[in-house]
Amino acid sequence: MMLSDNVISDIKRIINSAKEKAIRAVDTERVLMYWHIGQRIFLEEQEGKDRADYGKFLIKTISKQLEPEFGSGFSVRQMEMCRQFYRTFPIANALRSQLSWTHYRLLIRLDNQNKIEFYTAETVKNNWSSRQLERQINSNLFGRLLMSNNQEAVMAIAKAEQYPTDAKQILKDPMYLEFLGLKNESSYCEKDLESAIITNLQEFLLELGNGFSFVARQKRIHIGGDDFFCDLVLYNRLLSCFVILEIKKNKLTHGDIGQMQMYVNYYDRMEKLPTENPTIGILLCADKNDALVKFTLPENNETIVASKYQLYLPTAQQLIEEMNKEIRSSY
């Protein structure tokens, strides 16, 4: 007797689902275990007269007793992280079941509470893996969003307390596209960059911002007997609008901006539904003159955004420079 493929596939799905639930349950218990260990260490530490010296002694003593019996998960470094975990997240009920211990290890290394709350909210909202969270931290997502937004708006959008109303609230400048694997800028053209984006579409949409989905590539537009082709057409469900994306390998020109304005006008007049918001144009370029962009577009422009892209994640020095810009802009 032959078994149907549906039976086998259903049973496999049941097994895989059970495995995933078991893994999540184990990891949730591990997170709670480390939290309670951190709490106990912290409370004991407060009893010491010289807390700094006693804390070091306490951590080393606990690890020395536990590591031989329970393994490397109870090393001195791990016990220090448990203590920091409790100090950073002192309320057990506030822990997120979607986050693994690996997520929390990344979060407790951040240097201020606003960053911790931002990355926690974004991880939960976007279902980031620990690797995706690490990449967003390393690329200074929080700082890049602050470059064109105030901190209150960035935090409110991350926590879903308000919806974005402007493309600049969710777009980053610059964008980091190291996942495309294009190392030597002289060896590729715009078509290569476009193809690499399509191949790595999930990562690209994640870098682009929240709420984006793919619609078309090289979308043909017919205007008065002439044909034009938009590099990428996307849709953003949070902004409820079409998004036209043009890729420019070289420095942005006023001609590029004019072409994008034409594409945006076409979509607004021919494709957009009455219930949808105006189309947004994104010019993704290797370099740009902000003054040129400013004076080419109308003063009240809210529909065309120019963003630089870089093929490498920022160095530590670049991150420091961006943070300094952020601090200066807040005064």
What is each CA distance from 91 to 34, 38, 87, in whole angstroms? 13, 12, 9
DSSP string of 38-96, one letter each residue: HHHHHHHHTT-SSHHHHHHHHHHHHHHHHHHHH-GGGSHHHHHHHHHHHHHS--GGG--
Our count of domains for the chain comes to: 2
Name which residue leads in pLDDT, 88 or 45.
88
Verify that 105 and 142 share a domain, yes or no.
no
Name which residue leads in pLDDT, 167 or 295.
167
Verify that 187 and 300 share a domain, yes or no.
yes
Contacts of residue 108, Cβ cutoff 8 Å, sequence gap at least 6: 81, 84, 85, 88, 89, 116
Q: What is the CATH number of the domain that holds 280?
A: 3.40.1350.10
Q: Domain boundary residue among 109, 125, 149?
A: 109
Does residue 49 have a pLDDT over 60?
no
Verify that 213 and 102 share a domain, yes or no.
no
**pLDDT mean across residues, the chain:** 86
Q: What is the DSSP letter of 98?
A: T
Verify that 286 and 149 share a domain, yes or no.
yes
Verify that 58 and 188 share a domain, yes or no.
no
**Model confidence band, residue 25 (pLDDT cutoffs 50, 70, 90):** confident
Mean pLDDT of the region 164-185: 82
Q: Does the residue 116 lie in any domain?
A: no
Domain enclosing residue 21, as ranges? 5-109
Q: How many residues does the chain have?
A: 331
Does residue 276 have a pLDDT over 60?
yes
Q: Which residue has the tokens 């579409």?
A: 201
**Model confidence band, residue 143 (pLDDT cutoffs 50, 70, 90):** confident
Name which residue leads in pLDDT, 110 or 253.
110
Verify that 306 and 225 share a domain, yes or no.
yes
Q: Does the residue 114 lie in any domain?
A: no
Mean pLDDT of the region 275-293: 86
- The 3-state DSSP class for residue 213 equals strand
Please state whether the peptide bond connecting residue 278 to the residue before it is cis, i.e. omega within 30 degrees of 0.
no
Name which residue leads in pLDDT, 133 or 296.
133
Of 76-90, 182-196, 218-232, 264-278, where does mean pLDDT reach its minimum? 182-196
Verify that 171 and 70 share a domain, yes or no.
no
Per-residue pLDDT tens over the stretch 53-87: 777 888 999 999 999 999 888 999 999 999 999 99
**Model confidence band, residue 245 (pLDDT cutoffs 50, 70, 90):** very high
